């Protein structure tokens, strides 16, 4: 049995998982491992590395986590402009480009070289100067979206233009706006907040006073993470601090009165779940981190084809 859930799934591509795998490391050792991928480094960084190669040994996996972790800390310690907050994201169009958010609302772009060095540039700041909660890069061009703070603002920046937000709008979440994600075609944005609501936005219709394309009011607790499926833009996951992950597909309309028509799957009984990531190559497979470890889940009914999903519900 593999010792680590994350590299066990990348090493065993032929398997289909009906239930999550839990990490089997000793508790004290795993606590240290978990802290390194959750604060300040998250599953975003780990999945970036999974795209490039497979982890064959636990030592190799932990070595990469340690490198990422130490680099992040060195930048925050050496540059007085960065009072590190929660938000961080990898760029899609430039290699080794990271955007990080600060507690004073500042957004910084960090270009990392292979030797561990890098340059930190100021991109801009949230209009309300609230702490940055989350950042997501668009997949084409140099734009990113950042959210955070009691003002519940979402702001789009162009990394090439300093201190000049492209657009800012109020998301309407109760309390903080905690998380944001953008689909692979840069058509839609997801935001989640303290009140439990998740909003789906059409990027082409964004402006001051914009209204969401659809609001999901299923969740009753704070939303720390939302993620589009990279293999299916109609599918996304929502992490709810109430102890579960929900998977939705906007193309699927089921005839049911007990659950929302586009709710596909619930992964429950989690202890303070924080983040999820979709696998970049295996459709329907996702990772979720929580206090008990990292779960790797592949529901049987998640496919890249809405028609196939509907067909399964008819069986």
pLDDT tens for 51-60 read 443 333 333 3
pTM for this prediction? 0.72
Cα distance from N-terminal residue to C-terminal residue, the chain: 34
* Domain encompassing residue 121: 5-314
Q: The domain spanning residue 251 has which CATH number? A: 2.130.10.10
Give the pLDDT score at 101. Answer: 86
Instruction: List, for residues 162-201, the tens digit of each pLDDT value.
Output: 666 788 888 888 888 899 999 999 999 999 999 999 999 9
Q: Would you state the structure tokens that stand for residue 106, as one six-digit string?
A: 């500042």
Give CA torsion, residues 162, 166, 169, 175, to 10 deg.
-30
Q: Would you state the structure tokens that stand for residue 20, as one six-digit string?
A: 């999550």
> How many domains does the chain contain in total?
1
């Amino acid at each position: 049995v593999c010792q680590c859930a994350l590299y066990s799934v990348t090493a065993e591509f032929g398997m289909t998982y009906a239930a999550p795998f839990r990490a089997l490391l000793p508790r004290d050792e795993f606590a240290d491992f978990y802290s390194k991928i959750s604060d300040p480094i998250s599953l975003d960084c780990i999945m970036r590395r999974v795209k490039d190669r497979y982890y064959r040994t636990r030592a190799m996996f932990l070595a990469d986590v340690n490198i990422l972790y130490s680099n992040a800390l060195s930048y925050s310690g050496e540059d007085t402009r960065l009072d590190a907050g929660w938000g961080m994201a990898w760029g899609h169009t430039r290699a080794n480009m990271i955007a990080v958010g600060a507690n004073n609302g500042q957004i910084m772009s960090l270009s990392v070289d292979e030797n561990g060095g890098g340059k930190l540039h100021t991109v801009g700041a949230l209009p309300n100067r609230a702490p940055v909660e989350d950042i997501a890069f668009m997949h084409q061009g140099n734009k990113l979206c950042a959210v955070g703070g009691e003002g519940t603002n979402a702001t789009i920046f162009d990394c090439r233009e300093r201190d000049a937000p492209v657009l800012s709008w109020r998301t309407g979440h109760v309390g903080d706006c905690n998380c944001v994600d953008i689909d692979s075609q840069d058509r839609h944005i997801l935001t989640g907040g303290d009140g439990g609501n998740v909003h789906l936005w059409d990027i082409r219709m964004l402006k001051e006073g914009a209204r969401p394309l659809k609001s999901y009011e299923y969740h009753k607790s704070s939303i720390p993470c939302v993620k589009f499926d990279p293999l299916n833009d109609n599918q996304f996951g929502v992490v709810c601090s109430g102890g579960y992950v929900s998977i939705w597909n906007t193309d699927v309309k089921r005839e049911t009165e007990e659950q929302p028509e586009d709710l596909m799957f619930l992964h429950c009984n989690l202890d303070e779940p924080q983040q999820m990531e979709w696998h970049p190559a295996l459709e329907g497979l996702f990772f979720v981190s929580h206090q008990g470890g990292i779960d790797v889940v592949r529901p049987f009914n998640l496919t890249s084809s809405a028609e196939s999903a509907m067909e399964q519900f008819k069986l």
